[in-house]
């Protein structure tokens, strides 16, 4: 992030537009790999049932 500055042509501060900016990471969705592993069978069954309907 220290290298992110203003856009050369537009002169716009680019930091707020970066996914890794402090403001954006506070609102980001967190991915919980352990939860998905624990629930993958149930979710696959539910997804397959949804596809059939």
Q: What pLDDT sits at residue 49? A: 96
Q: Is pLDDT above 90 for 46? A: yes
Q: Residue 44 is encoded by which pair of tokens?
A: 């696959």
What global pTM score does this model have? 0.46
Q: For 2-42, what is each residue's pLDDT tens digit? A: 788 888 899 898 888 888 888 888 888 888 999 999 999 99
Beta-ladder partners of 13: 6
Q: What pLDDT sits at residue 17? A: 86
Q: What pLDDT sits at residue 37? A: 96
Under a CB-based contact definition with an 8 Å cutoff, are residues 9 and 18 in contact? Answer: no
**Where do the domains of the chain lie?**
15-52
Q: Residue 31 is encoded by which pair of tokens?
A: 């991915």
């Amino acid at each position: 992030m220290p290298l992110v500055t203003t856009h050369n042509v537009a002169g716009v501060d680019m930091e707020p537009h970066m996914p890794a900016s402090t403001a954006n990471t506070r609102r980001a969705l967190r991915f919980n790999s352990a939860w998905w592993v624990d629930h993958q069978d149930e979710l696959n069954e539910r997804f397959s049932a949804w596809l059939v309907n």
